[in-house]
Amino acid sequence: MNQHQHYAGGTLLGPGEWVTVLLIAGAVAAYLLVVLRLRRRAIYWPVKRTSAWVAGWAAVGAALVGPVADRAHDDFVAHMAAHVLLGMLGPLLLVLAAPVTLALRMLPVPAARRLARTLASPPLAVLTNPFVAGVLDIGGLWVLYRTGLYAATHTEPALHVLVHAHVLAAGYLFTFAVLGGPDPARHRASPPWRAGALVLAIAAHNILAKVIYADPPDGVPVERARAGAELMYYAGAPVEIAVLVLVCRPWLLPRPRARGSARSVPGSRLSIRN
């Protein structure tokens, strides 16, 4: 803990933070390189996806390194701000960047086939079921804050890293499962099921915020727990609403069929019922 205070004032980063920065920089650089190579081959790639990838890793980076991350160690409110960035906003932006589609465009055909086969495999069908992914994501948060796990992450650095990795990965998985895209989603559930899983997850997230408010996790002062819980509730809402819009729009407001064929509309198979 003291180590963190060392770094908070200056520009020095701890060894773990350097690894984080390098990993994030690597992810951004790799994506940008692939986009550049596609462009050189005159293959179109939307700028908004590239921006989403950069912004998504910026959100993740802000949660893991820098002033918010430093304060998150001792301050539950900053911890919750980091939670919203790492587990909600970051994953949403990363999903919208469609990294798998980019990889499929870039990889040589045999490797692309292997990747596509893996994505269509039964284990991934289970993992990307919106209800399973929701339990992994929000259920994980319940375990974190309702058991001794949160206190343990402060004394066990490995556990700390593992929890962060889980929050990011589960957030990505759940967002992808609920949106059913833009990356290929062979096992995409129908929109009502995805919306249902999303509503349940939002409810479970809000209920958890109130439970934290009423009964703080071990070692968190009551007043900080309350401020943190309110931040979790209210700062999470814009991200939740954005995901709701993305789930509902292709379902309830499909583009007119006159413009562009039905095939070109993502999710159109599910949304042209009326």
Partner 1 sequence: MDPQGRRPTQHGRNIVAGILLGLGTVAFLDEAVFHQLLHWHHFYDKSTSDAGLVSDGLFHAFSWFATVAALMLVFGLARDGTFRASAFAAGWLTGAGFFQLYDGLFQHKVLGLHQIRYDVNLTPYDLVWNIVAALLLAAGIALWVVTARRVRRADVSF
Of 213, 224, 235, 270, the one binding partner 1 (CB under 8 A) is 213
Query: Should residue 199 be labelled a site residue for partner 1 when binding is judged by CB under 8 A?
Result: yes
Cα–Cα distance, 225 to 213 (Å, whole number): 6
Of 6, 37, 113, 210, the one binding partner 1 (CB under 8 A) is 210
Binding region for partner 1 (CB under 8 A) out of 73-81, 118-126, 176-184, 203-211: 203-211
Q: Which is nearer to partner 1, 102 or 247 (CB)?
A: 247
Phi, psi at 203, each rounded to 5°? -60, -45
Query: Should residue 19 be labelled a site residue for partner 1 when binding is judged by CB under 8 A?
Result: no
Chain centroid to CA 260: how far? 31
Token pair of 63, please? 């949660």
Q: At what angle do helices 47-64 and 157-179 cross, to 10 degrees?
A: 150
Q: Which is nearer to partner 1, 74 or 230 (CB)?
A: 230
Of 161, 211, 235, 270, the one binding partner 1 (CB under 8 A) is 211
Query: Should residue 233 be labelled a site residue for partner 1 when binding is judged by CB under 8 A?
Result: yes
Query: Should residue 262 be labelled a site residue for partner 1 when binding is judged by CB under 8 A?
Result: no
Binding region for partner 1 (CB under 8 A) out of 30-38, 136-144, 234-242, 260-268: 234-242
Cα–Cα distance, 70 to 222 (Å, whole number): 21
Query: Should residue 197 be labelled a site residue for partner 1 when binding is judged by CB under 8 A?
Result: no
Of 241, 257, 269, 272, the one binding partner 1 (CB under 8 A) is 241
Beta strands in 118-216 (DSSP E): none
Of 230, 235, 266, 270, the one binding partner 1 (CB under 8 A) is 230
Cα–Cα distance, 78 to 166 (Å, whole number): 19
If one counts every other C-beta atom within 10 angstroms of the C-beta of residue 119, the result is 17
Cα–Cα distance, 160 to 188 (Å, whole number): 32
If one counts every other C-beta atom within 10 angstroms of the C-beta of residue 124, the result is 15
Chain centroid to CA 242: how far? 13
Residue numbers at the binding site for partner 1 (CB under 8 A): 195, 198-200, 202-204, 206-207, 210-211, 213-214, 226, 229-230, 233, 237, 240-241, 244-245, 248-249, 251-254, 256, 274
